[in-house]
């Protein structure tokens, strides 16, 4: 039977990581893989995470299974972080998941249970795994315009024109902040227009929020998600703790499903629990316990927020340095968008051939769609990247 298996498409980012590792050039720069790195090129364990883990080692008395939905305290702490007081808690069902990817997968499974004919509208471009998972599940994907490759900003008119085709049977997938891969975000006025369209069409919005705290700040990055939650009857939220807590390998995520009325919450929760049982049964717990310990302890939370803010400001400084250096070398302000984008990524809007030239001629690695991870830079590598960009004619 196994001889009937066919080779699966290679993951572009994983392939890029392999090429980077095998490149012997000492000047190589990795801007492809989507993890935060400090100035030394290390993905650090945050201070509050280390402290929380030390407490757990001393305090935890069992490694028995948690419930199918995970530890309720984790769901409550993450809900507070994401939504604050924007929605009544009795309207919310939630489950812990293996990372943000697990939350996205379970959300797609849930909407397919609710409507086998569902379509999911996704931004063009979006995180590639969105489309990959939907394709694997056999859920039709409809792309809506999002990024203008000329201005490197949101093509809002095109987005709204395409979303006009949404029906009440559809899901609209949105990025809560720090759009991956482009770095270009909607402003709150544009978010309100999207909300108005969603309410007019009666579709189900879904928000993937993986970078809260990496853009304009913890509260600011949650503003759009809270605005949606307070304005629509139903909502799905897939959240990740990988980036803002730096616990990538702990696979810590959360899926929240918000219903119109509290009397539907129990059924929704039962369906979420059922899907967890069918997929991986009990979700991972260590990362969730760490996050809960941090968010419920004022001292640890304050230290986590301070370190997260340092990370955020460091990425903004790198963005500004790169934009300034490119302006100096080119004599043009056409790269100013880099300083305006938010989060780890910017899509610089060039061709795959130019991206390949960056790799071949300058040992600079980024995804073929020109998404670069700003957190892969440091003060010394920014001028190297800027010169390379100008030399290859971007």
Is 127 assigned a catalytic role? yes
Q: Phi/psi at 175 (nearest 5 deg)?
A: -95, 125
Residues 275 and 189 in one domain: yes
CB 325 within 8 A of CB 386: yes
56 domain-assigned: no
Choose the final residue of a domain: 235, 267, 296. Answer: 296
Q: 84, 226 in Cβ contact below 8 A?
A: yes
**What CATH number does the domain containing 362 carry?**
3.90.1150.10
User: Is 210 an active-site residue?
Assistant: yes
d(CA 287, CA 280): 16
Regarding whether 383 and 312 lie in a shared domain, the answer is yes
Phi, psi for residue 340 in degrees, rounded to 5: -85, -30
Are both 40 and 89 inside the same structural domain? no
Burial-class residue 280 by CB neighbours within 10 Å (0-12, 13-18, 19+). middle
Instruction: Tell me: do 87 and 161 sit in the same domain.
Output: yes
* Active-site option among 208, 221, 285, 369: 208
| pLDDT at residue 376 in the model | 95
pLDDT of residue 11: 80
Please count the structural domains in the chain. 2
What does the pLDDT profile of the chain (394 residues) look like in tens digits?
999 999 988 887 888 888 999 999 999 999 998 899 998 999 999 999 999 999 999 999 999 999 999 999 999 999 999 999 999 999 999 999 999 999 999 999 999 999 999 999 999 999 999 999 999 999 999 999 999 988 999 999 999 999 999 999 999 999 999 999 999 999 999 999 999 999 999 999 999 999 999 999 999 999 999 999 999 999 999 999 999 999 999 999 999 999 999 999 999 999 999 999 999 999 999 999 999 999 999 999 999 999 999 999 999 999 999 999 999 999 999 999 999 999 999 999 889 999 999 999 999 999 999 999 999 999 999 999 999 999 998 8
pTM: 0.96
- Please check whether residues 130 and 166 belong to one and the same domain: yes
Residues 110 and 243 in one domain: yes
Residue pair 342/178 in contact by the 8 Å Cβ criterion: yes
Looking at 93, 222, 224, 243, which residue is catalytic? 243
CA of 33: how far to CAs of 282, 308, 333, 366, in Å? 29, 20, 28, 8
Point out the domain boundary residue: 237, 272, 296: 296
Q: Is residue 57 part of a domain?
A: no
Examine residue 303 and state whether it is found in any structural domain, yes or no: no
- Closest by CA to 94, choosing from 271, 285, 262, is 271
% helix, strand, coil for the chain, step of 5 = 50, 15, 35
In a domain, 4, yes or no: no
Domain boundary among 241, 273, 296: 296
Q: Measured between alpha carbons, how far is 247 from 288 in angstroms, rounded to an integer?
A: 10
Judge if 378 and 290 occupy the same domain.
no
Pick the catalytic residue: 51, 94, 210, 323? 210
Q: 315 and 211 in one domain?
A: no
CATH number of the domain where residue 153 is located = 3.40.640.10
CA distance 71 to 393: 52
Rg (Cα) of the chain, in Å, rounded?
Answer: 21
Q: Are 339 and 323 in contact (CB under 8 A)?
A: yes
Do 237 and 117 share a structural domain? yes
* The two structure tokens encoding residue 345: 């990524």
Residue 7 lies in a domain: no
Residues 4 and 1: their CA atoms lie apart, in Å, by 6
What is the reported pLDDT for 14? 81
Active site residue 304: no
CB-CB contact of 9 with 347 (8 Å): no
Same domain, 217 and 69: yes
- Domain range enclosing 33: 12-45+308-391
What is the pLDDT, as a whole number, of residue 82? 98
**Position 267 in a domain:** yes
Catalytic residue chosen out of the listed positions 94, 96, 127, 257: 127
Exposure class string for 116-153: b at 16+ Cβ within 10 A, else e: eebbbbbbbbbbbbbbebbeeeebebbebbbbbbeebe
Q: Where are the alpha helices (DSSP H) in the chain?
A: 12-22, 47-59, 72-83, 99-114, 128-137, 156-163, 188-201, 218-229, 265-279, 286-296, 298-330, 337-340, 352-362, 381-391
Residue 6 falls inside a structural domain: no
Does residue 202 share a domain with residue 274? yes
Q: Hey, how many other C-beta atoms are within 10 angstroms of the C-beta on 76?
A: 16
Give a yes or no: residue 301 inside a domain: no
Could you tell me which of 370, 322, 372 has the C-alpha nearest to residue 344? Answer: 372
Shared domain for 156 and 282, answered yes or no, is yes
């Amino acid at each position: 039977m196994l001889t009937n298996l066919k080779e699966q498409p290679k993951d572009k980012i994983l392939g890029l990581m392999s090429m980077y590792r095998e490149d012997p050039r000492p000047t190589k720069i990795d801007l492809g893989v989507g993890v935060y790195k400090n100035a030394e090129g290390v993905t650090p364990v945050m201070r509050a995470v280390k402290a929380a883990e030390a407490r757990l080692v001393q305090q935890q008395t069992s490694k028995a299974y948690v419930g199918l939905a995970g530890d309720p305290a984790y769901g409550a702490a993450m809900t507070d972080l994401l939504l604050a007081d924007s929605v009544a808690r009795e309207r919310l069902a939630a489950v812990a998941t293996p990372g943000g990817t697990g939350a996205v997968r379970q959300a797609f499974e849930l909407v397919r249970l609710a409507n086998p004919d569902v379509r999911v509208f996704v931004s063009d471009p979006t995180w590639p795994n969105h489309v990959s998972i939907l394709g694997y599940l056999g859920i039709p994907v409809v792309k809506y315009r999002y990024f203008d490759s000329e201005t490197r900003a949101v093509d809002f008119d095109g987005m709204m024109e395409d979303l006009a085709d949404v029906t009440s049977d559809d899901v609209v997938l949105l990025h809560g902040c720090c759009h991956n891969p482009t770095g270009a975000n909607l402003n709150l006025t544009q978010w309100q227009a999207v909300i108005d369209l969603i309410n007019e069409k009666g579709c189900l919005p879904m928000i993937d929020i993986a970078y809260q705290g990496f853009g304009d700040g913890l509260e600011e990055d949650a503003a759009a998600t809270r605005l949606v939650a307070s304005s629509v009857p139903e909502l799905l939220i897939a959240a990740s703790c990988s980036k803002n807590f730096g616990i990538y390998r702990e696979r810590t995520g959360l899926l929240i499903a918000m219903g119109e009325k509290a009397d539907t919450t129990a059924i929704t929760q039962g369906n979420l629990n059922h899907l967890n049982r069918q997929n991986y049964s009990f979700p991972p717990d260590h990362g969730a316990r760490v996050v809960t310990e941090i968010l419920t302890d004022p001292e640890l939370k304050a230290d986590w927020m301070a370190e997260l803010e340092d990370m955020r400001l460091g990425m903004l400084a790198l963005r500004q340095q790169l934009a300034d250096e490119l302006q100096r070398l080119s004599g043009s302000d056409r790269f100013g968008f880099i300083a305006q984008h938010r989060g780890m990524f910017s899509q610089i809007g060039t061709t795959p051939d130019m991206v390949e030239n960056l790799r071949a001629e300058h040992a600079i690695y980024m995804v073929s769609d020109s998404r670069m991870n700003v957190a892969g830079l440091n003060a010394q590598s920014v001028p190297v990247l800027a010169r390379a960009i100008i030399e290859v004619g971007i």
